[in-house]
Amino acid sequence: TIDYDKIKEASAKYPKLKEINYTYGTAGFRMKAEYLESVIFRVGILGGLRSKKLNSKVIGIMITASHNPEADNGVKLVDPSGEMLEQQWEGYATQLANAQSDDDLIAVIKSIVSENGIDESKEASIVYARDTRPSGPKLVAALEEGIKAINVAGGNLGIKSTPQLHYFTYYLNYCEKPAEGSYEELADKLYYEKFAEAFHKAVGDNPCLSPIYIDAANGVGAPKLKELAEWINKINNNVLKVIIINDDINSQGKLNFQCGADYVKTGQKPPFGLTLTTEQRAASLDGDADRIVFYYVDENRTFRLLDGDKIAALAAGFIIELVKTSGLDINVGVVQTAYANGSSHAYLEKELKVPVACVPTGVKYLHHKAQEYDVGVYFEANGHGTVLFSPNALNKIHSAEKRTAEQEKAIKKLQALTELINQTVGDALSDLLFVEAILINRQWTFNQWNSAYTDLPNRLVKVVVENRQIFKTTNAERTLVEPKGLQEKIDKLVAQYKDGRSFVRPSGTEDVVRVYAEASTQKDCDELAFKVAGLVY
C-alpha cells in the first residue's frame, strides 16, 4: 500500500524549485538538467500510480532530452503497450511536478488516487532507462528514490535508446515473460534478436547495397547500432554494411553537437566531419535514436535530404504495391503534420493515391490517427515515425489462405515488414533497417528513391519571444487564431510568393516560436520565413 509518510519524508530531499513552472508537453518534461531532480522523483511516484491504476501492468520511464543540447535532460512515461502516456495523465504529471510543498505533493497524489479509484494495495512495477547524458545517473538516482518511496518494483535497464525502452515495456506486458537474465541485458538481446531476424526475412536473398555511413550524434545509437549490426551479420555476413561515425559517447560536449538528425534536417547540410562523395549513402540519428534522416550528394554535388516525408513515401509506395499484389483487402493511409513538404503531400495523394491526414505536431496525435487505418504510415518531416499494422491487417496478413505463388511471396514480405518496424514508436534503428530492406528489395540507389518527387525549398526558423503561450493555433496548427490579426498579415505575405506556404506555432519542447516557410525557390522561401519571423518578433 501507499505509505504517505514515507513519500513525504523522501520528498523532503527533492524540494521543488519555487520559481519554475513545469509542463508535461509533447516530449514529457524537458529542460536544463539541473531543474529536473524534483520532477523526476515525482515521476517515479506517478509511474507507480499509473501501474496500480492499470492492474499492475508495467510502466516505462525514459530519461532523455533527445536532440536537445547535452546540458538538457528530460523524462517521459510510457504506457504498457509501449505508447505515449495517456493524455489525462499528462495533466497529473504537470500537477505533481508543480506541487510547491511536500504537503501539496501528498494532496495531489491523494486526489489522483481518489479520482481514478486506484486500489492502493495493488502491486506495481516500472522499468526505466536513460540516454548517455552526463546528468543521467543523478536523475536516475532521483527516480529510484521516487519509485522506492511509493513501494513499487523498479527495473533499471541502464543506457538504452528511447525506442528500446518502449519496446521492452510492451514486451514485458504482452509477450512471454523472460525466464532468466537481467532486464538490462534482456532489453538489448530481445531487441537485437527481433530486428535482426525480421531484417533477414525482409531482405531475402536479394543482393545487399553499398555501405551506409551513420552519424550517431555521439549518442546512444552508436553502441546500440554497432551491436545490432553485429547481430545481423552473425546470421548472414555482409548483408548490412554500416560505418558508424560520431560515435563518441564518452567525451563531454559532443552529444548532438554539430551532428545528428536535427542538425542535418534543420541546416540541410551534412554533419561536421563527414565529407560526402557522389552517391555515398549516409544517415543521421538523433541523441536518443528515435529519429533518422538519410542524405547524399548527387552528380551535381547538390546535397539531397531524404527526410521523414521521403521515408513515408518510400514505405507507403512499397506497402501499397505488396498489398495490391497480395490481393488482400487492406487499406493504407499516411499521417503527416504541417511540416510535411507540400510536394510530398501532393505525391502521396496524386501519384500513390493514398489518403493523407494532417494532425498537430506530437507523436501521440500521429500515432492515434494512424491507428484509424489498416496500415497507418506516419512520419514527421524530421524523421520520427513508424508504420502501424492494425489487428485486422495482421490477422489478414497472417491467415491468408492458399494463393498464387506471386501472392504468397507478397504476403510473406508483408509479414516480414510487420516484424521489422517497431510498432510501439518511431525508432531510428528499426526505420534504418526498414528503409534498407525496401531499397534492397527494389535495388534502388538513394537517387532513385529521391526521384519520386522534388521537395519544395523550405526553411524552418526559431524565434525567441517573450511569451510563446500567446500564440494559439487551429486547423492542425496551420492557422493562428491568436494574437488576433497576425494570421491575416501572414496570409498577405504568403500570397506574394509562388507556391508559398507559411505557418507559425509555439514549440512544445523549447521556449521558442517556430516559423516554417515554403516557396518555389530557396531565395523566396528564405525571404518569406524571414518576413514572417519579423511579424512574430
Pairwise CA distance, residues 76 & 254, whole Å: 23
Please tell me the count of residues contacting Zn ion according to CB under 5 A. Answer: 4
Other CB atoms within a 10 A radius of the CB of residue 483 amount to 12
For CA atoms 226, 232, 233, 237, give the dihedral sign: negative
By CB under 5 A, which span of 200-208, 284-292, 456-464, 515-523 interacts with Zn ion? 284-292
Q: Which residue lies nearer to ligand NG1 by CB, 48 or 360?
A: 360
Residues with Cβ within 8 Å of 7's Cβ and at least 6 positions away in sequence, in order, are 45, 105, 106, 109, 149, 150
Interface with Zn ion includes 70 (CB under 5 A)? no
Cell of 66: 533527445
Pairwise CA distance, residues 497 & 486, whole Å: 18
Binds 286, which of ligand NG1, Zn ion, none (CB < 5 to 8 A, cut-off by type)? Answer: Zn ion
By CB under 5 A, which span of 59-67, 71-79, 232-240, 519-527 interacts with Zn ion? 59-67
Which residue has its beta carbon closest to Zn ion?
Answer: 66
Pairwise CA distance, residues 343 & 346, whole Å: 5
Interface with Zn ion includes 518 (CB under 5 A)? no
By CB under 5 A, which span of 101-109, 120-128, 226-234, 285-293 interacts with Zn ion? 285-293
Binds 361, which of Zn ion, ligand NG1, none (CB < 5 to 8 A, cut-off by type)? Answer: ligand NG1
- Strand pairing report for 513-518 and 501-506: antiparallel
Interface positions with ligand NG1 (CB under 6 A): 26-27, 66, 339, 361, 380, 382, 384, 507-510, 514
Q: Which residue lies nearer to ligand NG1 by CB, 254 or 384?
A: 384
Binds 499, which of ligand NG1, Zn ion, none (CB < 5 to 8 A, cut-off by type)? Answer: none
Provide, rounded to whole angstroms, the least separation between the CB of residue 505 and ligand NG1. 7
Pairwise CA distance, residues 430 & 422, whole Å: 6
Closest by CA to 152, choosing from 32, 45, 19, 264, is 45
Closest by CA to 339, choosing from 508, 158, 214, 470, is 508
Provide, rounded to whole angstroms, the least separation between the CB of residue 266 and ligand NG1. 8
Binds 290, which of ligand NG1, Zn ion, none (CB < 5 to 8 A, cut-off by type)? Answer: Zn ion
For CA atoms 40, 44, 45, 50, give the dihedral sign: positive
Distances (CA, A) of 519 to 170, 263, 461, 534: 42, 22, 15, 17
Interface with Zn ion includes 284 (CB under 5 A)? no
Side-chain-side CA neighbours of residue 285 (13 Å): 35
Q: Which residue lies nearer to ligand NG1 by CB, 426 or 500?
A: 426
Does residue 117 contact residue 111 with C-beta atoms inside 8 Å?
Answer: no
Bond before 483 cis per omega within 30 degrees:
yes
User: Exactly one of 83, 215, 288, 524 binds Zn ion (CB under 5 A); which one?
Assistant: 288
11, 66, 284, 326: the active-site residue: 66
Binds 288, which of ligand NG1, Zn ion, none (CB < 5 to 8 A, cut-off by type)? Answer: Zn ion
Is 56 annotated in the active site? no
Q: Which residue lies nearer to ligand NG1 by CB, 66 or 341?
A: 66
Provide, rounded to whole angstroms, the least separation between the CB of residue 54 and ligand NG1. 24
Q: Which residue lies nearer to Zn ion by CB, 286 or 455?
A: 286
Binds 380, which of Zn ion, ligand NG1, none (CB < 5 to 8 A, cut-off by type)? Answer: ligand NG1
Which positions touch Zn ion (CB under 5 A)? 66, 286, 288, 290
Q: Which positions are catalytic?
A: 66
